[in-house]
Amino acid sequence: MIRGMLRVLITTVVTILLVAGAFAGGYVASHTIFPPAPPPDGGAPADWKSAMSVFWEAWNYVRQDFYKTQLDQDAMVNGSIAGMVQALGDPHTAFIDNKRAEITRTDLQGSFEGIGATVEMREGRLTIVSPIKGSPAEKAGLLPNDIVLQVNDTIIQNMDVNEAVRLIRGPKGTKVILRVQRTKQDPFTVEIVRETIRTPFVESKMIEGTTLAYLRLNDFGATAPEEMRAALQDLLRQKPTGLVFDLRRDPGGYLNVSIDVASQFLKAGQIVLVEKDKSGRPQEFKAKNGGLALDIPMVLLVDGGSASASEIVAAALKDHKRATLIGTKTFGKGSVQNVHTLSDKSELRVTIARFFSPKGNEIHQVGVTPDIEIKLSDDDVLEKRDPQLDRAIEFLKTGK
């Protein structure tokens, strides 16, 4: 399973805006008289060969008639695959071209060159979810909910989020100019020098003035289990009386990582999730041995940006009554994707199953509801207040 949305997430839905309409256009009588001969079927299965002949007819008419002399065949192929996948009607089954796929692969490995901010597309507007701590974006003063109107000379509006990310990222030491809209303020321009961004999957600390530990997971990336285990060991050495585990704005990642993460808090053998394939056959995934934080009182923070793998962990901890969930309802991405890397390093992500909570509760398009709902307003973000964390601290101190 992969995360629903690049951390530049979840939301977790990727919209394909390639050349899916490459074959649309007029039709004239000359095509009936002199139709181009279709090429070989490209290895289509026998029961699909008749349909593929229509595809090749269309392909050749475009090559024959389109007014531009130079056709971008890579874009046409990408658009064809994207259109095919979109016809399935599942937003999480998607074709990702090689340039955008490299962005995702890099993010899940924890290092890239850019400004250091997670973003998502909200109603066609590129919105800052959170600057990474210590990044050029944070140093430049960017805040959550800032809207990026323009990157250098390119206006950002209804653009694919990965294409927007490609514009912002670039080699270390180069500059990018952003035009930014902030709530209740006039748009302003900020110039940022790109750096190599190493995104820690885990943040941890003792909460000042308390005996409580704080642990945040930013992404379910490849090295997250090792980072999280090391952070937990360090925190537990300080004898905390309670733990706040923060999965807010975490768009997910790898399925196996979600099991490793949940295993730090659940007893070995407890069910983490139930997966059902297209036949409806259930498969249980269970917690592993060696969890470090099996008994410490615990609050889990979640919100609408907690998706996919985050929801697996949230649902498991809730069903087993291992943690009290505080925040707002999670995103609701409860499907599993197989990721196929194609010959040109593009990716085809195919939904193969749905996952459910240990008790069999639906997550897809439903989400996980917190035990205590606390909302975070725009003013809270601007004023750097965190009533959700405050409520978690209060709960762990008082049990109420």
Query: Which residues are marked as active site?
Result: 308, 319, 333
Q: Is-contact 299 321, C-beta < 8 A? A: no
Residue ranges in 126-160 assigned as alpha helix (H): 136-139
Those residues with Cβ within 8 angstroms of residue 25's Cβ, 6 or more apart along the chain or in another chain: 62, 65, 66
Q: Is-contact 370 245, C-beta < 8 A? A: no
Those residues with Cβ within 8 angstroms of residue 335's Cβ, 6 or more apart along the chain or in another chain: 1, 90, 92, 351, 353, 354, 355, 364
Residue 86 is encoded by which pair of tokens? 């979109």
In order of 49, 100, 204, 230, 397, the CA distances from 237 in angstroms are: 65, 41, 13, 11, 20
DSSP 48: G
3-state secondary structure of 310: helix
- For the chain, the first-to-last Cα distance in angstroms comes to 36
> Which value, to the nearest 10 degrees, does the dihedral of the CA atoms of residues 264, 265, 270, 276 take?
-80
Nearest to 348 by CA among 110, 73, 74, 100: 100
Residue 343 is encoded by which pair of tokens? 């010959």
In order of 116, 145, 173, 257, the CA distances from 136 in angstroms are: 6, 17, 11, 29
